[in-house]
A and B are shown apart, each in its own frame.
Chain A
Amino acid sequence: MVQLINHSRANVKQAIIKQGMALATINLKSFPHRAIASSVSILSIACVAAVILSVLAMTQGMVKTLERTGLNDTLIVMRAGAISELQSVMFPAEVNILANNAQVLKDSNNQALVSAEMFVNAEMSHFDKTGEEHIEKLALRGISKSTYRFRPNFNIIAGAKFKTGLRQVIIGQAIARKIPALTVGSTITVGGSRWLISGVFSDNNSVFESELWADIGMVQSDYQRGNTLQSVRLALKANTDIDALNKEWQADPRLNLRIMYEKEFFANQAENLTRLIRWVGFPVAFIMALGAMIAALNTMYATIASRSKEIATHKAIGFSAFAICFSILTEALLIALVGVLLGVLPLYLIFDGWTASTQDANNLSQMMFNFELTSGLIAQTLLFSITIGLLGGILPAIKAMRLPVTVALRDN
């Protein structure tokens, strides 16, 4: 007879983690057999991961776009009470008062560095190659030559700037990407008139790239706005006391204005948009997460029910209850990981870098932004989904831990 090798009994004790890993490895081998049963749970987590990542990517895309917009040292002035340029109305007389302030910088010709701008939520229509008409809501900004001085990142990337006094527009590259039919030389209908696209511009992927820019005089004329405008941008001398300047203008009975730094203005807009998306997106994601958690819970309970004898056998052999708990949680984790992969991978392959658009709640026009699925966002999604998986697995794992071996083994 062959003698069994007698190994040291003293060394039989092992760490729970090691036991758990051993059981988890065995569970992984049998996981393909449970893949179909686990598919509901996997799909639920995949959907949650996709929604969460989409919300995060949208928010980040918009915030980044708005963060790239505006200058730290430029002052934007609008009508008091207006929270967006669209809501503001200003008059040339007011612009003159502002321009004549001693704190406003002047150029080499002793002209105040001021950009008076008109802003319209325009209905733009165009025809595609098949002759079908498309209508888009876009921001139309009426500008003057001085405006370019307040857009240091502005570049014409195709065609040329519009000519003053003509119905010509330049379009932001985000619009050009989103609507390929809008090319230099093609025409669009804005404000009831036909406009020629003279060029395409870039501006460091800022929100301005979602706008049409045209001669302010032509826009005022087509929209019958007389000589009114929406906002004024000012360059101030260094070390200007902004609070003192604000007090001075607030005290002036001819003015009824609101001033702030342009960067701060767009940061506020970013905050408002982010809040809006999160209020809508996260509750939806939360409800879906709850559903996914329940699905994971059900799957794991079903797994434990179908494997009760196996678990009882492990216990009878000597595996600790904590190791069994650990192995069940590992399986829940695996389900979550497969779910995340299924949810994130297609999103990443299809939508990363995609130019998306949304209606700017402040200006009611389209704002375009890049749908950026960064590693940071994917990591956040992964963490969230893993948490769902683990929360769904923890109660079943405790149940497995407490499974009465004698009952499970007798139940033939």
Chain B
Amino acid sequence: MKMNNQNKIAIHLNKINKSYQKGNNKVVVHDDFNLSIAEGEFVALMGPSGLGKSTLLHLIGGLDLPTSGSVTIGDRRIDTLSEALLSTWRAENIGFVFQSHHLLPVLTAQGNVELPLLLTPLNSKQRKQHASLALRLVGMEDRSKHLPKELSGGQEQRVAIARAIVSDPKIILCDEPTGNLDRKTADEVLTLLATLNKDFGKTIVMVTHDLRASEYASRVINLEQYIEKGKQSQLSAAEVNL
């Protein structure tokens, strides 16, 4: 699917430069990088390690700042926000799903999903209702009282997805969400993400090495080709249509 130009732009990275110092060497991760993602897209970022896929995810999520260039999410430029404002912005707009789910071991599935809601004015009863709803959505309602150690890898990732969506963010950022899962479980998780994209209109950006994962995305960006093409044309992205 080519990006529909009539769709509203959800994510826009403009002339992004990102470098960091490693000892005496300056490592350039991105050089004059551009990317636009429309609302409701499910984009898979692929490519070899070291090309800065996760860095892009962190820039979009406001976890990292570009050396230069701008990051605009919706109508808001986020690279100029203070850390405190970025935190609030993240709580309102972004849901993260990590490869290693990062659930808190002392909290039950329900408790973990309620975590982002602690940042909202919802009371305890309302938080429980929201968390139950999110757990039901990912098919984990019957495991709500289980601790992470009592869940399988796929179940943990489902709970992590429930945590990512519980505060109803517009954008979900997934960093290798199936990296630690077997094929069957990975497919279940990817189906869930596709459902969130299609049925709930969530914009999803997923970093993955999994070729099968790309089958669930509406647009796949091979970063290696994308960067090469970008250098040649400076205009359009290399896209793999599905």
Residues of A at under 8 Å CB distance from B?
A: 1-9, 11-14, 19, 22-23, 26, 29-30, 33, 309-310, 312-322, 405-406, 409-410, 412
Chain B residue numbers with a CB within 8 Å of A22 are 118-119
In whole angstroms, what is the CA distance A412 to B102 when docked?
11
Chain A residue numbers with a CB within 8 Å of B199 are 1
B235 CB–A CB distance under 8 Å:
no
CB pair B54–A317 under 8 Å, yes or no, is: no
CB pair B133–A2 under 8 Å, yes or no, is: yes
CB pair B121–A310 under 8 Å, yes or no, is: no
Closest to B199 in A: A1
B91 contact from A310, A318, A412, Cβ within 8 A = A318
CB pair B88–A12 under 8 Å, yes or no, is: yes
Chain A residue numbers with a CB within 8 Å of B116 are 317-318
CB pair B168–A7 under 8 Å, yes or no, is: yes
CB pair A9–B106 under 8 Å, yes or no, is: no
B122 contact from A7, A13, A26, A316, Cβ within 8 A = A7
Closest to B88 in A: A13
B107 CB–A CB distance under 8 Å:
yes
B84 contact from A309, A312, A321, A406, Cβ within 8 A = A321
In whole angstroms, what is the CA distance A12 to B92 when docked?
7
B167 CB–A CB distance under 8 Å:
yes
B43 CB–A CB distance under 8 Å:
no
CB pair B119–A14 under 8 Å, yes or no, is: yes
In whole angstroms, what is the CA distance A410 to B98 when docked?
10
Known contacts: A309-B102, A405-B63. The answer to whether A5 contacts B87 by CB under 8 A is no
In whole angstroms, what is the CA distance A313 to B104 when docked?
9
Closest to A22 in B: B118
Chain B residue numbers with a CB within 8 Å of A320 are 83-84, 87-88
In whole angstroms, what is the CA distance A30 to B111 when docked?
13
CB pair B64–A11 under 8 Å, yes or no, is: no
Chain A residue numbers with a CB within 8 Å of B129 are 5
CB pair A319–B87 under 8 Å, yes or no, is: yes
A317 contact from B55, B91, B106, B126, Cβ within 8 A = B91
Closest to B115 in A: A317
Chain A residue numbers with a CB within 8 Å of B122 are 7
Known contacts: A19-B119, A316-B63. The answer to whether A4 contacts B98 by CB under 8 A is no
In whole angstroms, what is the CA distance A370 to B179 when docked?
69
Closest to A312 in B: B102
B90 contact from A3, A5, A309, A316, Cβ within 8 A = A316
Q: Which of B94-139 contact A (CB under 8 A)?
A: 94, 96, 98-100, 102, 104-107, 115-116, 118-122, 126, 129-130, 133-134, 136-137
CB pair A406–B91 under 8 Å, yes or no, is: no
In whole angstroms, what is the CA distance A12 to B104 when docked?
22
Chain A residue numbers with a CB within 8 Å of B88 are 12-13, 318, 320
Chain A residue numbers with a CB within 8 Å of B63 are 315-316, 405-406, 409
Tally B residues with Cβ within 8 Å of A.
47
In whole angstroms, what is the CA distance A8 to B91 when docked?
12
Please classify the interface of chain B as helix (H, G, I), strand (E, B), loop, or mixed, using the class held by over half of its residues: helix
Can you list 9 A-B pairs with a CB-CB distance of less than 8 A?
A1-B137, A5-B168, A11-B120, A12-B167, A316-B61, A317-B163, A405-B63, A406-B54, A412-B100
CB pair B120–A317 under 8 Å, yes or no, is: no
Closest to A401 in B: B83
CB pair B102–A5 under 8 Å, yes or no, is: no
Closest to B116 in A: A317
In whole angstroms, what is the CA distance A337 to B167 when docked?
36
In whole angstroms, what is the CA distance A409 to B116 when docked?
18
CB pair A33–B106 under 8 Å, yes or no, is: yes
Known contacts: A11-B120, A22-B118, A30-B105. The answer to whether A2 contacts B99 by CB under 8 A is no
CB pair A409–B102 under 8 Å, yes or no, is: yes
B120 → A minimal CB distance (Å): 5
A46 → B minimal CB distance (Å): 25
Chain A residue numbers with a CB within 8 Å of B102 are 309-310, 312-313, 409
CB pair B119–A12 under 8 Å, yes or no, is: yes
Chain B residue numbers with a CB within 8 Å of A319 are 87, 91, 119
CB pair A29–B106 under 8 Å, yes or no, is: yes
CB pair B136–A9 under 8 Å, yes or no, is: no
Chain A residue numbers with a CB within 8 Å of B94 are 318
A353 → B minimal CB distance (Å): 42
In whole angstroms, what is the CA distance A29 to B15 when docked?
45
Chain B residue numbers with a CB within 8 Å of A26 are 104, 106-107, 115
Closest to A25 in B: B118
B43-54 interface code vs A (CB 8 A; 1 in, 0 out): 000000000001
In whole angstroms, what is the CA distance A314 to B105 when docked?
13
Closest to B102 in A: A313
Chain B residue numbers with a CB within 8 Å of A412 are 99-100
Closest to B95 in A: A317
In whole angstroms, what is the CA distance A314 to B102 when docked?
10
Closest to A5 in B: B130
In whole angstroms, what is the CA distance A301 to B89 when docked?
29
B73 → A minimal CB distance (Å): 14
B134 contact from A4, A19, A23, A405, Cβ within 8 A = A4
B143 → A minimal CB distance (Å): 17
Chain A residue numbers with a CB within 8 Å of B168 are 4-7
Chain B residue numbers with a CB within 8 Å of A7 are 120, 122, 126, 130, 167-168
In whole angstroms, what is the CA distance A312 to B58 when docked?
12
A210 → B minimal CB distance (Å): 56
Residue from A29, A312, A318 with most neighbouring chain B CB atoms (10 Å): A318
CB pair B104–A30 under 8 Å, yes or no, is: yes
Given A310-B102, A406-B64, 16 other A-B residues pairs in contact with their CB atoms under 8 A: A1-B199, A1-B200, A4-B133, A4-B134, A4-B166, A4-B168, A5-B129, A7-B167, A19-B118, A316-B61, A317-B163, A318-B88, A319-B87, A320-B84, A406-B55, A412-B99
B119 contact from A2, A8, A318, A406, Cβ within 8 A = A318
CB pair A4–B130 under 8 Å, yes or no, is: yes
